[in-house]
């Protein structure tokens, strides 16, 4: 990683850790969402352990999207985005590094917290490991899909909701294969690696494609 990109990663990390940066908000939101579910559904452990992976995945999906609307909006507001366009670093790489920083600071804690919360939902150890593995493989796709929405709404004042409306339908395949990976880990008719590899492929495809879409949206923001 060359030094401008490293500097960008460090800056993003420092902003996310500062007050109001929202770095820890995602994991706290995840925690609250998952702990509320047993209150809503009731203390039926069999039911909870059956739908546990799905609850964890939906909570992770919402928690990932939570901070993403500010991914480019903050930079658009304070003029940093203009300056990114004047660097010799391609805007696509800037997008990718910002997504990598966002993923490291918000999605990675979710992956670490998921097995613990799985315990609350009565998941078997295999299912807990399956959920963590599927989140690790699938959350990059969520972050990068969200980055497209964040780029499209970067110029809007209250773009957060619009971004969620734009992006949530696109996350359907990730959700389907994420939950089926987690389910396959705790037994089932499908071997674990089949949905897991598709999930990895989805993440790799968005890593390859989404930065171009997001950068194009950022360039077309004005004019």
Partner 1 sequence: MSQDVERLHLSARSLRVERGGRAIVTDVSFELASGEALLVLGRNGAGKSTLLRALAGFLPLRGGEMVFTGGDAPLSERAHYVGHADGLKSALTALENLSFWASMLGAAKTCPDGKLSPQQALEKVGLARIGDFPVGYLSAGQKRRVALARLFVAARPVWILDEPATALDVGSQDRFAQAMIEHRASGGMILAATHAPLGLVDARELRLDAAASAARACPSTAGAC
For binding to partner 1 (CB under 8 A), which residues are involved? 2-4, 7-8, 10-11, 14-15, 18-21, 77-80, 82-89, 222-223
Phi, psi (deg, nearest 5) at residue 64: -65, -40
Give the nearer residue to partner 1 in terms of CB position, either 100 or 137: 100
Kindly state the helix (H) or strand (E) to which residue 16 belongs, with its residue range: helix 3-17
Closest approach, Cβ 164 to partner 1, in A, equals: 25
Closest approach, Cβ 81 to partner 1, in A, equals: 9
Rounded Cα distance, 183 and 190, in Å: 9
Q: How far is CA 129 from the centre of its chain?
A: 19
Give the nearer residue to partner 1 in terms of CB position, either 39 or 222: 222
Give the nearer residue to partner 1 in terms of CB position, either 10 or 193: 10
Give the nearer residue to partner 1 in terms of CB position, either 73 or 203: 73
Closest approach, Cβ 93 to partner 1, in A, equals: 11
Check: CB of residue 38 under 8 Å from CB of residue 120: yes
Rounded Cα distance, 124 and 182, in Å: 11
Closest approach, Cβ 26 to partner 1, in A, equals: 18
Nearest to 100 by CA among 134, 139, 69: 139
């Amino acid at each position: 990683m060359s030094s401008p990109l490293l500097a960008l990663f460090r800056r993003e990390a420092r902003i996310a850790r500062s007050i109001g940066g929202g770095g820890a908000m995602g994991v706290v939101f995840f925690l609250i969402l998952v702990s509320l579910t047993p209150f809503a559904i009731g203390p039926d452990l069999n039911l909870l352990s059956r739908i546990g992976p799905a609850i964890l995945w939906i909570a992770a999906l919402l928690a990932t999207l939570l901070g993403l609307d500010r991914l480019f909006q903050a930079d658009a507001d304070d003029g940093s985005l203009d300056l990114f366009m004047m660097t010799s670093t391609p805007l696509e790489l800037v997008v990718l590094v910002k997504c990598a920083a966002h993923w490291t600071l918000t999605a990675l804690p979710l992956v670490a917290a998921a097995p613990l919360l799985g315990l609350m939902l009565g998941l078997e150890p295999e299912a807990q490991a399956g959920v963590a593995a599927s989140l690790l493989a699938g959350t990059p796709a969520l972050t990068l899909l969200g980055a497209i929405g964040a780029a499209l709404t970067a110029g809007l004042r209250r773009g957060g909701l619009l971004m969620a409306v734009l992006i949530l339908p696109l996350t359907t395949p990730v959700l389907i294969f994420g939950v089926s990976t987690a389910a396959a880990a705790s037994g089932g008719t499908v071997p674990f690696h089949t949905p897991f590899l598709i999930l990895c492929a989805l993440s790799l495809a968005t890593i390859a494609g989404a930065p171009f879409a997001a950068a194009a949206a950022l360039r077309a923001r004005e004019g």
